[in-house]
């Protein structure tokens, strides 16, 4: 049997999530679409596709017929709204996948720590920039210490809706923490750029990592680790790719970057990425939204598989 899921938030991200669940997942079933605007395109599309809907927010979800059968709830609203939604759902035993920067629960990047939190009540999918860049930071950390890592996420302004714009501060803070906690960097920094170019440009991400690479750690080993990680991410985000060859340059003792960390630094690793959306619902340039929904679906499938294994063992 498929695991029933609900989606809170009938905007771009929530609607794309619903489409992915309906079209791509063999293990998930869209059990409800939740919004607050009865006239939203997301709710209208859900009705046409036969997905139960409510325009009364999380309280309406709790009152819906079949709510007891829903096991996993995606929250695609805002950081502030997620705090309220999590509190309302807490007594009902659902697992929450938070696509906002609220970061109430443990942070998850599927290619890095997918299996660590499959039993958690509330997991956080960090941010679009985090999903794109933290796997690379983690890949470098697997080979050599990373005292400092900085990421820059450049997204099309047209792909940044009201929720994204309202959460800019939370984006930088949550992503910076995740670079350290999940990526393994000693210190992390995140920057987001809303690019107003027309026609809109595909999401681009840059990772700049300062590493302390002993002589035994070859440049080839760093590049191989990054290439392996990119392959893992592209398994669930097909439009995720390296834009150019990984650059590794020595860091002289008098270079200004040494002010960023007090730990020893020998090299700077520069990685340039591109994320093209799958265009299931959103345009292809909105890779920033596609990588979030793709990662969230991957996490939900892992949660469902874990739950089914436990039920099977209990039987």
- Check the annotation: does 93 bind a ligand: no
Nearest to 294 by CA among 52, 2, 28, 1: 28
- Check the annotation: does 195 bind a ligand: no
- Check the annotation: does 166 bind a ligand: yes
- Check the annotation: does 113 bind a ligand: no
- Check the annotation: does 159 bind a ligand: yes
- Check the annotation: does 256 bind a ligand: no
- Check the annotation: does 288 bind a ligand: yes
Which residues, listed in sequence order, are joined to residue 271 by a DSSP beta bridge? 207
- Check the annotation: does 165 bind a ligand: yes
- Check the annotation: does 160 bind a ligand: yes
- Check the annotation: does 132 bind a ligand: no
123 tagged catalytic: no
Q: Which of 7, 86, 89, 128 is catalytic?
A: 128
- Check the annotation: does 216 bind a ligand: no
Binding-site members for NAD(+) are: 10-13, 159-167, 288
Q: Which residues are annotated as a binding site?
A: 10-13, 159-167, 288
Catalytic residues: 128
């Amino acid at each position: 049997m498929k695991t029933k899921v609900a989606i809170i938030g009938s905007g771009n991200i929530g609607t794309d999530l619903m489409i992915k669940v309906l079209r791509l997942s063999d293990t998930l079933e869209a059990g409800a679409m939740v919004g607050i605007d009865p006239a939203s395109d997301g709710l209208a599309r859900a009705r046409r596709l036969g997905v139960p809907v409510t325009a009364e927010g999380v309280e309406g979800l709790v009152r819906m017929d079949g709510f007891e059968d829903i096991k996993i709830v995606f929250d695609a609203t805002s950081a502030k709204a997620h705090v309220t939604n999590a509190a309302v759902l807490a007594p009902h035993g659902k697992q929450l996948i938070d696509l906002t920067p609220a970061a109430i629960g443990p942070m998850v990047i599927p290619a890095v720590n997918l299996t660590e939190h499959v039993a958690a009540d509330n997991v956080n999918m960090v941010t679009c920039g985090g999903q794109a860049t933290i796997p690379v930071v983690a890949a470098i950390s697997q080979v050599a210490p990373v005292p400092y890592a900085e990421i820059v996420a450049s997204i099309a302004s047209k792909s940044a809706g009201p929720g994204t714009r309202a959460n800019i501060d939370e984006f930088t803070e949550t992503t910076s923490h995740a670079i350290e906690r999940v990526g393994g960097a000693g210190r992390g920094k995140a920057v987001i750029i809303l690019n107003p170019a027309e026609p809109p440009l595909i999401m681009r991400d840059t990772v700049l990592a300062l590493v302390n690479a002993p002589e035994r750690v070859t440049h080839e080993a760093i590049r191989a680790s990054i290439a392996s990680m990119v392959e893992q991410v592209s398994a669930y985000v097909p439009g995720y790719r390296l834009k150019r060859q990984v650059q590794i340059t020595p860091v002289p003792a008098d270079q200004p970057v040494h002010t960023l960390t007090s730990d020893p630094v020998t090299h700077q690793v520069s990685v340039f990425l591109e994320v093209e959306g799958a265009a299931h619902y959103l345009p292809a340039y909105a890779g920033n939204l596609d990588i979030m929904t793709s990662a969230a679906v991957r996490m939900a499938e892992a949660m469902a598989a874990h739950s089914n294994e436990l039920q099977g063992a209990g039987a």
